[in-house]
Amino acid sequence: MQEMTPKDLTVAREICPATSQRLLADGGLLVDVREPHEVAQPGFAGCDVPTIPLSQFEDRRAEVPRDRDVIMACAEGERSLKATYFLMYQGYERVMDMNPGIVRWVQRGFPITGTAAGMAASVGASSCCGA
């Protein structure tokens, strides 16, 4: 087992979808950590949205840039908060959590791919027991 040094992480910055829109317009990056079966039902649209499922996040977190604002997102904000803290543990300083996630994004009428009908599959997905 890899040796991990415990760190006292500061409280993560959490932002709403509306604030996310402003940051995205200023060059921020939205990263979707939902699992592949969730991302199309619906998906975030109107910006580049790389997908790194939480179940693959430890192996792929190097894909997240350190030199721009990064907004982590999922269905409701729980898994993305976990990913946010993980990046903070790894020394990322420009990372924040969108809370709530695509549920509120849809409610606010922001652009999506697909339809909101399949969103129920994502709601309630837990970050415990696995990634």
Q: Which residues bind another protein (CB under 8 A)?
A: 1-9, 11-12, 54, 57-58, 78, 81-83, 85-86, 88-89, 126-131
Element (H, E) at 71: strand 70-73
Query: Distance between CA atoms of 75 and 43, rounded to whole angstroms?
Result: 10
- At closest approach, how far in Å is the CB of 3 from another protein? 6
Residue with Cβ nearer another protein (41 or 97): 97
Element (H, E) at 44: strand 43-44
Residue with Cβ nearer another protein (83 or 112): 83
Contact 46, 73 (CB under 8 A): no
- At closest approach, how far in Å is the CB of 24 from another protein? 25
Residue with Cβ nearer another protein (25 or 123): 123
**Parallel, antiparallel or unpaired: strands 43-44 and 14-15:** unpaired
